Structure 1
Amino acid sequence: MSASIKAELHQYGQQLATLKRHLKRKKTDTVERGSQSEVAETVERGSQSEVPETEETSSVRNDEECDQSVEEIDEELLDLLEELYESADKQEKESPTKAPERKGPNPKVQELKQRMQKILQTVGTRNLTRKFTQTIILRPEERYLRCGFCDAKGEHYSDSCPQFRTVEERRRMIRCKFCLDTMHSSRNCTRPMKRCKYCRLENHHTAICA
């Protein structure tokens, strides 16, 4: 197994790790902003019926099912990655006379490539959808957060602002595209950049992603 194959395995490992972090953040954000708010509203009204299926709750349910299947596959791929990587290390340490010469591609590496491509096609390129709900359930440590657009405190995330819904409206409200501040420009922002949860870039805040 050549050094180039080993480098390719390392790249696949990084892709899996990135995808796993993405799914974890997606599950946290989507479930807490979507399904919990629907359940909370139903409980507050004292309703004994099940929460009605809406486009939003259906999206949450489908994402959870897809995320679960990916996590199951993820364990198998990690085992396969580890096995191939250990094999590459072992062959690199062997002398050229002892190292077996393989004709054609390694079948396990080909299997890994195919399964990785399938996973990335299934969920790796999925974009999150911006959701607006009547009630947003924020975590206790986020109750102090203030919306960067309507200035409401502890009611919703900036990305879920019901008053300013379009990207054009939101961009007119702020000066800094990184932290949504109105007092300084993007060039003078000192806060650490975060990846957009929709397009995964670091050149703008999630709430103003087009």
Structure 2
Amino acid sequence: MGIFFIPKATSCILFLFLMSCTCFISTDAYDPLDPNGNITIKWDIISWTPDGYVAAVTMNNFQQYRHIASPGWSLGWTWAKKEVIWSMMGGQTTEQGDCSKFKGTPPHCCKKDPTVVYSVSSFQVSVGRAGTTNKTVKVPKNFTLKAPGPGYTCSPAKIVKPTLFIQADKRRVTQAFMTWNVTCTYSQFLAQKTPSCCVSLSSFYNDTIVP
């Protein structure tokens, strides 16, 4: 059987076509097994402090098949201003950062981009240098979520209607001073370090194909 020669231009076009067919990878955070599933992070300011606020941060898992196992959640963000975390309940940051500018008892965390780890679905955080009114508080940016592995993409924080809290005796309702939500969705493609769908197509770099 003879040798067939394919022009270089045709070989390149064929290579690109096969690459698009066999190695297409979506960068969207989308889980085909649970297309409407997500994890919603709710950040409620429940009280004001002399230089900031106390917030209750709650995670709601609306995924059908992905449950959060040990070691639990890992949530990160970037502060919009020069905020610090004075104290926490129900979680802790992985690093304290440089708190050398503070005298006396230092804050729990001074990092611009803290990461909080916790094993339950909520924690409480006291934030300083943050503003003490709805007009001076700025929502954090660049939220990231690992629960416990990678694969999640989080939306920007969106200010929503303040959360209502029903007291234990169900006779009184209180309201958060300010609330914002962040929605995180899972993608199997983003969770994989290397794509498993692709095959080697190095032979298409050659000018000839030998059957």
TM-score between both structures, scaled by the size of structure 2: 0.20
Q: Which has the higher strand share?
A: 2
Give the number of the structure whose residues are more often helix, by fraction. 1
TM-score of the aligned structures, taking structure 1 as reference length: 0.20
Structure with the bigger RCO (C-alpha within 8 Å, sep 6+) is 2
